[in-house]
Amino acid sequence: MKRFFVTAILVAASIVGVQAQDAKEVNKNAPQFSFKGGETWDFGTIKEGPVAEHVFEFKNTGKEPLIITNASASCGCTTPEWPKEPILPGKTGKLTVRYNTQGRVAPFTKDVYIQSNAVVPGGQERYTIHIKGTVVADNKASADAHPKQ
């Protein structure tokens, strides 16, 4: 009887192991992002005040339509806007990222998280792109706020 239970447990463990491997198998036809110009945009040095904007252009290099279900940022000062329609294989799309520079005089690095049906390198759940730069005070704006007597 003991041998029966041991055998049953080993068979069950084998089945679970095979199913776990199948679950991790990557769909070779799945959509994939290919970003023109890379996954990081450096604004360089920008003046405080205006909203800084960059458009990330990407291509779906997979064999199935790419569907972005959500895009969110690492903070409220960064706003992503993404295409709501599927991006067909071989076609391109644009994801716009806006950064509010007002009151943020300092170097910055922000992430935008893209949730989609695309294959993500490293097996991550979401794709991440980045913006960075340095915001400097706009001296004209400072002078207007504090006029000389």
pLDDT score of 2 more than 60: no
Q: Residues 3-14: pLDDT tens digits?
A: 554 454 544 555
At 146, the pLDDT band (50, 70, 90 cuts) reads: very low
Q: Residues 84-115: pLDDT tens digits?
A: 999 999 999 999 999 999 999 999 999 999 99
Specify the higher pLDDT residue, 148 or 1.
1
Predicted confidence at residue 1, as pLDDT, reads 56
For 29, residues 6+ apart whose C-beta sits below 8 A from its C-beta are 62, 63, 64
Boundaries of every domain in the chain: 33-145
For 75, residues 6+ apart whose C-beta sits below 8 A from its C-beta are 110
Specify the higher pLDDT residue, 54 or 149.
54
Q: CATH assignment of 33-145?
A: 2.60.40.10
Q: Which of 68, 70, 64 is nearest to 31 (CA)?
A: 64
Q: Which of 135, 139, 36, 118 is nearest to 78 (CA)?
A: 135
d(CA 15, CA 9): 10
